[in-house]
Amino acid sequence: MESAFNVDLRGVVDLLSRHLYSSPRVYIRELLQNAADAITARRAADPGAPATVTIEVADGRLSVHDTGIGLTEDEVHVLLATIGRSSKRDELGFARHEFLGQFGIGLLSGFLVADEISVRTRSATGGPTVLWTGRSDGRYEVAPAGEERDEPGTTVTLAARPDAAEWVTERTITELAELYGSLLPIDVTVNGRRTTVGAPPWQTKHASPAIRRNFLQKHGAELFGFTPLDVVDLHVPEAGLTGVAYILPTPANPAVRGGHRVYLKRMLLTESADGLLPDWAFFARGVVDAAELRPTASREALYEDDLLEHTRLELGRQLRAWLVQLAETDPDGLRAFLGLHHLGVKALALHDDEMLRLVDQWLEYETSAGRMTLAQFRSRHPNGRYTTSVDEFRQLAAVSGAQGVGLVNGGYVYDGEILPRLTRIDPDARLARLDPSELVTHLGPADPEAELRARPFLGAAGRVLDPLGCEVVLRDFDPASLPALYLTSRAAQHHAELREARDLGDELWADVLGAMERTLAVDRPRLVLNHRNPLVRRVTGLPDLTLAATAVEALYGMALLHGHHPLRPADTAALNRSFLGLLDWAVQGGTHG
């Protein structure tokens, strides 16, 4: 046996009018939207018909008069009282793409502020004026209006509930009409004051490009509170989209998505649309009008579909083309932009070769030879290296540069992924990641006689650092101010992490990780002592090998700290032991003195 659903009309009205929308203020947008659709429908048959919406508000009572197509009594029943029936709207022509929304459904938003709504309407196709009265409990009635309208159109009237009185004042209605409907191609007035301004600012004609740019910059400042660094025109024919992107004049947080201002058929959809531009374009704020993009049910956001994805990609392409053109025509402007928004360009360079070329040619990096572009660095250091850690760069930059090995700091966001991609735009790019252990081969050997004299010291130093898994070597290198350098290969780092995980894991995982550890053959980390350093020369000449071993532990701990290497418990113990040992020696030496 088939049965029909029992529908609680009051619950449906409450759901649509109170829970579909984020704020009561959208009811003005919905009333304007219905009025604009009705005018569009009438002018399709009669292009010379008037296009005006007159809003009157006083003492908590609101009336919205339009010169639209109006409704017959049958259409009133279909459009205003049949919730969710799209087929009838299609038959009447109200679902065509020329219209802003689904005619009539937005009327329910009036129940956000009122318990009763009346609609007085006269159809342009003929017939008497009809009065529809709907109530928030789901009841409605349709009757002859009694008083005929002078011309076709519709008047929507409502009186605010006491708890919603703030939404039905002249000031609030005027502000909301200006916010949502300022760009509508019709005349809208609130108590005689016009709230529409005409065509979108980016479509306004100007005497010159410079004047237009200044005009749009002022528009951007009014909307967003900042004077844009630049203005980029946007155009996507498939979406019927036109508009502009305003470039932020200050650095933007890439983790925070910027809200874009989106109009649909010149009615404001939202001030904070998400996902209109690609994620990497966080340096821009868009203001666009689109005819074909779909809104969500509440018409407060864009519906995610293939057209929106195509639009997003096309807008990203246009922003990228603007950057390329900026590099060709305004190098100073590009440098100013990159100084603020390099992260966005880097993010794009991860998968776009054109942007990778721009990064290579224009973006300055920190190197062992000072700040310069990657192209400049590669021309000076054909066999240069890069690090993927800022701490590693700071530890090794001076040493690497002194030995003639160019080093790039690739430790910031996206750099570690960008640098290996340079071969895509230059097959001869030989910029490889530095393995710190290979730097030892570039450090000059100590004087043979000096190394021979230091052999007892090196033996004692090796014995004290052997339990810590570290070897000791003596070299002669610049800068002389650096006494010791801790160098470990990436394989050795992995080995150390594996060993630490084995020590912390349970018995099963300890056995598994122990078996893996035994299969790895890696070089041990090295503590490289700089014989060019005066302190190291004095330490290597100490006759007391016990004191020399304590000094080596101190140099070892200092090298770990200088390189920002993690300290294991054994490392911390060695550092503490050396500090206390040297302090004890100093106190005893002072007493004996």
Mean pLDDT over 128-133 rounds to: 92
Mean pLDDT over 60-78 rounds to: 91
Task: Give SS3 for 225.
Answer: coil
Mean pLDDT over 486-490 rounds to: 80
Same domain, 420 and 569: no
CATH of the domain at 474: 1.20.120
504 in any annotated domain: no
Residue 457 · residue 540 · CB < 8 Å: yes
Task: Give SS3 for 127.
Answer: coil
pLDDT computed for residue 441 by the predictor: 80
CATH of the domain at 56: 3.30.565.10
pLDDT range class, residue 510, cuts 50, 70, 90: low
Mean pLDDT over 401-421 rounds to: 91
What's the domain range around 406?
Answer: 366-435
pLDDT computed for residue 29 by the predictor: 92
* CB environment 61-72: b (16+ within 10 A), e (fewer): ebebbbbbbbbb
341 in any annotated domain: no
pLDDT computed for residue 8 by the predictor: 63
- Is the pLDDT at 529 greater than 60? The verdict is yes
513 in any annotated domain: no
pLDDT range class, residue 152, cuts 50, 70, 90: very high
- Is the pLDDT at 111 greater than 60? The verdict is yes
Burial of 121 (0-12, 13-18, 19+ CB in 10 A): buried
Same domain, 167 and 47: yes
Same domain, 425 and 447: no
Same domain, 158 and 252: no
Count of CB atoms situated within 10 Å of the CB of 544 = 11
CATH of the domain at 264: 3.30.230.80
471 in any annotated domain: yes
335 in any annotated domain: no
* CB environment 507-523: b (16+ within 10 A), e (fewer): eeeeeebeeeeeeeebe
- Is the pLDDT at 515 greater than 90? The verdict is no
Same domain, 276 and 176: no
237 in any annotated domain: yes
- Is the pLDDT at 95 greater than 50? The verdict is no
254 in any annotated domain: yes
- Structurally, the chain folds into a number of domains equal to 4
Same domain, 262 and 372: no
Same domain, 214 and 78: no
- Is the pLDDT at 7 greater than 60? The verdict is no
| Higher local confidence (pLDDT), 268 or 97 | 268
Residue that is last in its domain, among 150, 166, 194: 194
- Is the pLDDT at 19 greater than 80? The verdict is no
- Is the pLDDT at 119 greater than 50? The verdict is yes
Same domain, 402 and 466: no
Task: Give SS3 for 514.
Answer: helix
Mean pLDDT over 549-561 rounds to: 93
Residues 6 or more apart whose Cβ sits within 8 Å of residue 349 = 355, 356, 358, 359, 414, 418, 421
Mean of the per-residue pLDDT values for the chain? 85
pLDDT range class, residue 97, cuts 50, 70, 90: very low
DSSP helix, strand, coil percent of the chain (3-state; round to 5)? 50, 20, 35
Residue that is last in its domain, among 329, 349, 377: 329
| Closest alpha carbon to 474 in 442, 451, 449 | 451
Same domain, 244 and 158: no
Same domain, 173 and 30: yes
429 in any annotated domain: yes
Task: Give SS3 for 248.
Answer: coil
Mean pLDDT over 196-201 rounds to: 92
Mean pLDDT over 95-103 rounds to: 44
Per-residue pLDDT tens over the stretch 219-249 = 999 999 999 999 999 999 999 999 999 999 9
Task: Give SS3 for 1.
Answer: coil
CATH of the domain at 411: 3.40.50
Same domain, 218 and 309: yes
- Is the pLDDT at 169 greater than 50? The verdict is yes
pLDDT computed for residue 321 by the predictor: 93
Same domain, 145 and 254: no
Mean pLDDT over 203-219 rounds to: 92
pLDDT computed for residue 89 by the predictor: 41
Mean pLDDT over 269-292 rounds to: 91
